[in-house]
Amino acid sequence: MRIDRLRWWHLPAVAEMETAIFGPEAWSEGLLWTELSAGNDYRAVFDGDRILGYAGTALNGDELWLNNIAVAADARRRGVARMLMDDLIERARAHEVKSVYLEVAVDNVPAQRLYDGYGFYGIGVRKNYYQHTGTDAAVMRMDL
């Protein structure tokens, strides 16, 4: 497995993963295009040519937002999410980021456990954040 930059030609596969993982809350290929064209940093874990998982971040001064992170169902429990988290934290430190923020569905316990392990802590809740399901999002922060 290796981490590399996500490129525009990867977006159809990423959009398929989004739909499989997030259902009605999935980001479209067009929205993913917008993310890349805005200069946001997206990385993926590859096994050969196959994308096992990906993460996208947006840098704003000394703050970094983790926009999304996802791992294919058949690639979970293999360290893919940890590879992505370690990579984004390393790059955040290189850019002298002070805080990393994210939003996670309140019912996504596995993701919350991952974030807790990295030192993220809750700072608030966004009610009905996920529009299609009406699920709340926990807002979390990690200080570097």
**Catalytically active residues, by annotation:** 103, 115
73-92 as b/e: b if 16+ CB within 10 A = eebeebebbebbbebbbeeb
Nearest CA among 27, 58, 26 for reference residue 42: 58
Amino acid at 115: Y
**How far is 118 from 6, CA to CA, in rounded Å?**
23
**How far is 83 from 143, CA to CA, in rounded Å?**
19
